[in-house]
Structure formats: C-alpha cells, structure tokens
Amino acid sequence: MNSASHPQLAATNLQTGARLALIGLVVNIAFAIIKISGGVFGNAYALIADGIESALDVAGSIIIWGGLRFAARPPDETHPYGHGKAEPLTAIFVACTVFLAAIALVVQSARTLFLPHSAPASFTLLILLMVVIVKETLFRYVIRFGRSIESIAVEADAWRHRADVLTSSAAFVGISIALIGGEKWRSADNWAAIFVCLVIASIGVRLLRPALYDLLDTAPRGAIVDRVREAASSVPGVVRIDKSFIRKMGLSFYVDLHVEVDGNISVREGHQIAHAVKRAIQENDPRIADVLVHIEPAKNL
C-alpha cells in the first residue's frame, strides 16, 4: 500500500465529517427558531432554554465545519505533519462554549424560578417530541461515523445532538408536570430548565477531556499499539522492538520505532529492513500516516 494514500484517506474522512456538521447546522437553525418561538408563545421556560442551547449549537456547528475543513488540508512547508491539530482545538472550543452556555442558562432559569408563571401550552410537547426523534437519529448516525474514524471533533458534534435529546426530554417532562399538576406545579418547567443546563455542562466536560489528551500528544492505548509492534516484529531481519512511540495528529497516527537487527549486517540491509518495517505497519493500519524507524544492533546476539 502506498503511504501517499493515508493522508488522502484522512482528508476524505474529515471532509465527510464537515458535511455532517453542515447538516447539523441547518437542523439546529430550524430547531432554534421553532423552540424559541414555541417557548415564547407557549409560555415554556424549559423550551426557551432548550432553544437557546440549539442557537448556540448553530455556532458550534459552524466552528466544527470550519475546523474539520482546515484539518483536512494537506501538509505544506510550514505544517509538514499536516493540519490535524485543528481537530482537537475545534473540539476544545466547542466544549468550552457548551460549558459557558450551561452556566448562563442555569443562572437565568434560577432567577425566574419564583416569579409568577403562566401555564405552558400543550403544543410545546409536540415540538419537543419532534426534536427528540430527529436529534436522536442524527446522534446515532454521526457518532457511528465519528467512532469509525476516531475523530473527537465529529464525536463532539454527535454528543451535541445527544445533549439536545436529553434537554428536550427533560423539558418534555417539566412541561408535562406543569400541565398536569396545575398552578402549584408550574415551576416544574423552570426546574426542568435547570436540569437541562446541568446536562449541557456535563457533556461539555465529557467533550473536553479527549480533546486535551490529543492536543498534549497523549500516547494512544489499545489495539493500535499492539498492531504496530506485531507488524514490525513480523518483518524478516527484525530481532526485537526496543522502543515504540505513537502519537495522534487529527485522524492520522505517527509512529517512532527503535528496531534491533543483527549488528553484523550492512547499512544497506538495515536500510531495507527499515523500509520493510514501515511498509508492514502502514499496510496493517491505514490510519498511520508515517513511520520513522531507527535501526539498532541487537544486544546479546
């Protein structure tokens, strides 16, 4: 497999992720307008809070779309490893905006908690039901794609859809209690809005952690580490693997490897083994963009 195909695969996946973010953008614009209008005319504080969250999602979708398109750019003279770091930066920005939005919304909901309430309109429940169905469908599709390409920005976009499902469900419960319970229970709408904000904040924290790990070049764990070592060890002439370092750059991985070989072979033979190791690793996992192999003489041979 030609190593040139690896950056192209990552770029294609990032562009697909950007298109999914664009679809989410259109959906969020529509739902923000519908929710806020429905909340204002239907006297539903929880629906207004949910609508504001959707409006903030519009900004998040624009950021994710732009960040993924930038991350898909090929390597150049100033960025020889590509522009993949734009992907975790995008996820961090989205996580921070989600968290700050939750704080602002909980303050507003708490401030109006003990003010006089009008009964929410029953049609607001139909709006929320529609949101839950559409957003859960989007979440399942986007999260499946994000996990398949290991993109934290795409996964962040998916979790924003799931946040909308949870917040709309909470608003549905709060408005239902306010409608069924009568005047004494009308503050349930506000309590639901506060719960919505706490859910949003927890999702912001969940999105932030993996993005920071990627930005700080935290070593990946799991199958990819074992696959790299197994592929390198399978090459004829490799005695053992001394050191193996892997870091993630956007959707691609970069490997630094110290390989021990017979110390009596020629430089040319060692060079050929190094190329064979690189080829074996990249053929084993198409996400690996490049492999740097350092040849060392084997000890105790």
The tens digit of pLDDT for each residue in 37-88 reads 888 887 776 677 777 777 777 777 787 778 777 877 777 788 877 777 887 8
Residues 176, 85, single domain; the answer is yes
Average pLDDT for the chain: 79
Same domain, 181 and 53: yes
21 and 129 together in one domain? yes
Count of other CB atoms within 10 angstroms of residue 46: 31
**233 and 176 in one domain?**
no
Please name every residue paired with 275 in a beta bridge, in sequence order, or none if there are none: none
**286 and 170, same domain (yes or no):** no
Could you tell me if 11 and 67 lie in one domain? yes
Domain span at residue 251 reads: 223-297
The pLDDT value recorded for residue 189 is 63
Out of 150, 181, 215, pick the residue that ends a domain. 215
Question: How many Cβ atoms sit within 10 Å of the Cβ of residue 33?
Answer: 13
**CATH code of residue 168:** 1.20.1510.10
**CATH code at 265?**
3.30.70.1350
**pLDDT tens digits, 200-217:** 777 778 778 878 887 877
pLDDT band at 5 (very low <50, low <70, confident <90, very high): very low
pLDDT band at 185 (very low <50, low <70, confident <90, very high): low
The torsion angles phi and psi of 254, rounded to 5 degrees, stand at: -120, 135
Contacts of 161 (CB under 8 A, 6+ apart): 24, 135, 136, 138, 139, 142
Residue that is last in its domain, among 199, 215, 231:
215
Confidence of residue 276 (pLDDT cuts 50, 70, 90): very high
Give the 3-state DSSP-derived string for 119-185, with helices as H, strands as E and coil as C: CCCCHHHHHHHHHHHHHHHHHHHHHHHHHHHCCHHHHHHHHHHHHHHHHHHHHHHHHHHHHHHCHHH
**What is the pLDDT, as a whole number, of residue 215?**
80
> How many structural domains does the chain have?
2
| The overall pTM is greater than 0.75 | no
